[in-house]
Each structure stands twice: as structure tokens, then as C-alpha cells.
Amino acid sequence: MKTTQAAHAPLRGTQPHCQTCSLNALCLPLSLNDSDMERLDDIIRRGRPIQKGQLLFQQGEPFQSVFAVRTGALKTYTLASNGEEQITGFHLASELIGLAGYDNGNYPLTAKALETTTVCEIPLTQLESLADDLPDLRKQLMRTMGTEIRHDQNMMLLLSKKNAEERVASFLLDISQRYQRRGFSSTHFRLPMSRVDISNYLGLAVETISRVFTRFQKNSLIETQGKEVILLDPDTLYELAGLNQDAECAAAEQE
């Protein structure tokens, strides 16, 4: 019913550019020099904000663009044939979404805004031809996909091996680290998604999320006030999550 097109109709006015964007060190332009960044900037479309609940693209639609989140947050999810949704990721500012569409020419998932969100749209055909010219851009795209694969494989491990507390701890720390990379506090932040979304993402019942949050508060590991979260004891959370504080275990298991 509601179209997914309206969201990115062009909008005139002062628009940020990659060159001045505070996120360019985290985003696609990462490894580009100034002139290459300018070429990338030229093909980027910046649309009007999409509102909470609106779709950026939908599973099955033709894969036409890749998107970078400028402000706000989205969730991406796949639909099982019985209609159940499985959230596969949350996407904060500077993160790229849609690349999985490379598989067969259709988006394999749906992207929905968790709050008012602005995105940079990068039309595929133009990205392709630019990538033909700029090996660095091509590598950055591959890296981004590699990161996505690694994330998904970590999730498989989480879903298959971790219990409820480990899952929630892992989740909170993941979000924490991502905010930190963006220059925000790693211990005090606001979760853009609902408890239901968290439970879906982590493969648990909402009630379980709520209970674990409560237990973590009783143990003085965190403090919550609605969507606001304070990590009181990140060290213990890291232990709980089964992660090393610094590198994500990394090369620790040589023998």
C-alpha cells in the first residue's frame, strides 16, 4: 500500500556533502582522496527524512540503491514464509545498508526507520561505474560486505550458543562500541529500538529481555530508564558476554 518511493524524493536546499560530513571517516568515503570523494559526492542523492515506521526499501524490490544512514536509525529484517519477521541488524549513522541486494538483484530484506531518519542514497548504476574507476571504492565496498558477513556470523554464534544474559550483554556492548566509534559516550546512550525489536533480534521473548534488564539492574550492571541505558559495570558485562574487552578475542587463540 504505502509506497517506499516517496521517502527519497529530492529536496532542495543546503545539503551536506561528503567532504564536510562528520561521518566521512566511518562511511563509504573512508579510503578516498579528495577528488575521488567529490566524484562520489556527486552521485549521492539526499532525500527528505523518512519518518518512524516508514520503509526505505522492501524485501523483493529491485536492488537499485545502496543507502548510508546520515542521522537516525533503521532496522533491517527478513520475512519468513509464515510472515514472521527476523531482524537481522540495526543501523546507526554512517552505516551502509542494502549491499546484500547484490545477490540476485533484489533486496533480500526490508529496511524500516526506527525514528526520523535521513539517508544518503547511492544509485547502484552510478556506484558501479564509479567503482570501475576507483579501486579504493571497490575495496571499500567489499570490506563493507565482509564486515556484514562477520557480523552475521557473530550473530549465528550468539543465537546458537549463548544464553539470554550473554545475548543481552553482547547486544548492549555492541551498541556501546558503535556509539563510541561515533564519538558518543560508550556508557550512557539511548536505544533507538523497542524491547520487542531487541527480543526479535536476539531470538528471545520480550519478557525475557525485560527480565534480564531487571536482573542486570539488580546486580548494578546497568541502569535503565525507558530507552535510556547507562552501563555501570562494562567489565562485568564483557565477561558475561564472553568477549574480551579490547579486540573481539582476535588472535588470542593461537596454540
Query: Judged by CB under 8 A, how many residues of this single chain contact a second copy?
Result: 58
State which of positions 151-170 bind a second copy (CB under 8 A): 152-157, 159-161
182 binds, among a second copy, DNA, none (CB under 5 to 8 A by kind): none
Question: Closer CB to DNA, residue 86 or residue 210?
Answer: 210
Partner interacting with residue 224 (select from DNA, a second copy, none; CB below 5-8 Å by kind):
DNA
Q: How far is the CB of 51 from a second copy (least distance, A)?
A: 20
- CA-based end-to-end distance of the chain: 57
Question: How far apart are CB 116 and DNA at their closest, in Å?
Answer: 10
List the grid coordinates of 33: 582522496
Distance in Å, CB of 58 to a second copy, minimum = 9
Binding partner selected for residue 164 from a second copy, DNA, none, CB under the kind-specific 5 to 8 Å limit: DNA
Q: Which cell numbers hold the place of 255?
A: 596454540
Which of 26-34, 44-52, 226-234, 243-251 is the region at the interface with a second copy (rule: CB under 8 A)? 243-251
Alpha helices in the chain (DSSP H): 34-43, 124-133, 135-161, 164-181, 195-202, 206-218, 234-241
Q: Does position 132 bind a second copy by CB under 8 A? A: yes
Q: How many CB atoms lie within 10 A of CB 203?
A: 16
CB-count burial class (<10 Å; 0-12, 13-18, 19+) for 2: exposed
- 87 vs 123: CA distance, rounded Å: 25
Distance CA 193, CA 76 (A): 12
Q: Tell me the closest approach of the beta carbon of residue 129 to DNA, in angstroms.
A: 42
